[in-house]
Structure 1
Amino acid sequence: MPWTSADVPDQSGRVALVTGANSGLGLATATVLAQRGATVVLACRNPVRAREAADRIGGRTELLELDLASLASVRAAAEELHRRHDRLDLLVNNAGVMVPPHRRTADGFELQLGTNHLGHFALTGLLLDLLRDVPGSRVVVLSSLAHRIARHGINFADLQYERRYNRVEAYAQSKLANLMFMYALQRRLAGSDARTIALGAHPGYSATELTRYLPKPLQAANRMMLGPVSQPPERGALCPLRAATDPRAMGGHYYGPDGPFEIRGWPVLKAAAAAAHDEAVQERLWTVSEQLTGVAYA
């Protein structure tokens, strides 16, 4: 039997934070968690769209302004969450940006690495004290099939793509960084007295706003494939939902669709690309991430 949203256990009494929860996968994830009784914090860059999402979701929802492309915003959001809550059960690092023109974050990072990886790296580190003593707490990191096409792995020689920008390569690097962060975080959690585990997921090819920066020729091809190839956000969100809530899930598990080429289907355990498991590169990326963000994990 496939794992569906009906398999999500009761979440009453739990506090979950979902980044980028105003649309797409984040909205679908937050909706199910709220329906199961969780208090869901919608951490979003746009307050107006976040309010619209909260009205649509109903249940116990809170708004938290968060721009992952600004470390100042990440720190302010973490401080605000500490004022509101003394615990956090679920942190779903969902928000992301895909293949935009070359841009930089407020702190000078390449936008995709800065938003998809460094912003979430900083946020997780700043919230870990709310998670670590909570039984059953989890950090879920969303990656992508694109992590498999990171030709240069983590390109430490030009991490911010200052010499030559390739939007697809930069996106693939950021998604590989997501998985490397998850595995390195789980290794640290397992070696401590923390009661938190880290897991990963990817949504296959889901019909979301993430494709809005595709070049125009690819936009047309994307529209043609939406029906026969892609799956709706509600189906894609089952992968992070299973990582976040399945009682049988374990630290380091990585979930993706069970269909051909992992493009669509029901959530099952998947194997990440071999490059994601390189511990030496994971540790180098971790050190660089701490240096760039100024967030050191205890």
Structure 2
Amino acid sequence: MAGLHPVIVVTGATGAIGSATAELLARRGASLLLLSRPSERLDTLIERLDRDNRVSGVEVDLSSFVSVRAAVRQVSRSVGHIDALVNAAAVFTSEYQQTPDAFELMLATNHLGPFLLTNLLRDSLAGAGRVITITAPSSTRVDMDQLTSKDQFRALRTFGATKAANLMFTFELARRAKRWDVRAFAYHPGLVRSDLMRETARPIRLLSRIASRSPDRAAEDVADLATSPAFGSTTGWFFKGGRRIDPPKATLDIEAQRSLWRRSADLVELGDSGF
């Protein structure tokens, strides 16, 4: 990890884990680019953290590929090398919502948007950069035909599939990114107090509230994955609580990982820009 002030990009910066991670990294002296939808929460967060002119914001809607590409251009103008990218953005919706690119909102925000963003930041991450994607140990089958069909939408199944896709993306990225000296990790925070599941059924919300932990604990793990020398020679690992854990077997099929990558690249029209 380079220097006293590593450059770190955090998506979902106004969410529970994203904002807690940003606060901790700022205290550790990192230079931060906080990516989020435009909001007063983003402005307030930047104002609170920007003590030494090392924290700035970039507005982005990860469900819009036009917005993602515009954000990448702004990031590239703002910084040279990126030491770490933290993909912390996620949404859950109980009803089908279509994005400007005609995809289901959770698929676009949780998987396709971060997939495009990560790939377009390839050259900035090259040379010891790290990509940390926050996800969950989902074993839901990832069927892209199903995920792109409005008629087959099921909220919990779709959300679970996007989390499994995060894992498969991470494992394939770890292989592809080696030639650029970029490392990829997935991280499971467990149940964390947040607004993510506010549209779920009331019993699920209550259980989540009772069993959840502070996002500050997850932030410590994520910050370590982004900056600690201990993770400088590893890649393709799945972590929880600072320890490596086994991912669901359903996410470990290499051909399925490659197929998901190819299909995702086609859907976002990646071309030759990525890993």
Which TM-score band applies after superposition, normalised by the shorter structure?
over 0.9
- Describe the shift of the 1:11–1:216 C-alpha distance in structure 2 as closer, same or farther (beyond 3 A): farther
Contact in 2 for aligned 1:243/1:255 (Cα 8 Å): no
Q: How far does the alpha carbon of each residue in 1:168-220 deviate from its partner, in whole angstroms, 9 at most, with x for none? A: 00000000000110110110122x1x12111110110000111222134533x
SS in 1 for 2:82: coil
Q: 1:213 corresponds to which residue?
A: 199
2:169 to 161, 168, 181: 181
* Residue 226 in structure 1 maps to residue 215 in structure 2: no
Q: 1:50 corresponds to which residue?
A: 42
Q: TM-score, normalised by structure 1?
A: 0.85
**Cα drift, residue 10 of structure 1:** 9.3
Percent identity of paired positions between Structure 1 and Structure 2: 32
Further displaced range: 267-276 or 61-70: 267-276
Q: 1:288 corresponds to which residue?
A: 263
Q: 2:236 corresponds to which residue?
A: 252
Q: Within 2, Cα distance between the matches of 1:72 and 1:157?
A: 23
* Residue 272 in structure 1 maps to residue 247 in structure 2: yes
Q: 1:202 corresponds to which residue?
A: 188
Q: TM-score, normalised by structure 2?
A: 0.92
Contact in 2 for aligned 1:42/1:61 (Cα 8 Å): yes
**Cα drift, residue 160 of structure 1:** 1.7
Q: 2:106 corresponds to which residue?
A: 112
Contact in 2 for aligned 1:11/1:33 (Cα 8 Å): no
SS in 1 for 2:86: strand
**Cα drift, residue 11 of structure 1:** 6.4
**Cα drift, residue 54 of structure 1:** 1.3
Greater RCO (CA < 8 Å, at least 6 residues apart) = 2
Q: 2:225 corresponds to which residue?
A: 243
1:165 to 145, 148, 153: 153
2:62 to 62, 68, 72: 68
Structure-to-structure mapping, 1:3-152, within 5 angstroms? 12-59=4-51, 60-133=54-127, 136-145=128-137, 147-148=138-139, 150=140
Q: Within 1, Cα distance between the matches of 2:22 and 2:32?
A: 6
Q: Within 1, Cα distance between the matches of 2:145 and 2:177?
A: 29
Contiguous gaps of at least 5 residues in structure 1:
1-8, 258-266
Contact in 2 for aligned 1:26/1:95 (Cα 8 Å): yes
Contact in 2 for aligned 1:11/1:37 (Cα 8 Å): no
**Cα drift, residue 128 of structure 1:** 0.8
**Cα drift, residue 241 of structure 1:** 2.3
Count of residue pairs brought into register by the alignment:
269
- 2:235 alignment partner AA: G
Q: 1:261 corresponds to which residue?
A: none
- Describe the shift of the 1:47–1:11 C-alpha distance in structure 2 as closer, same or farther (beyond 3 A): farther
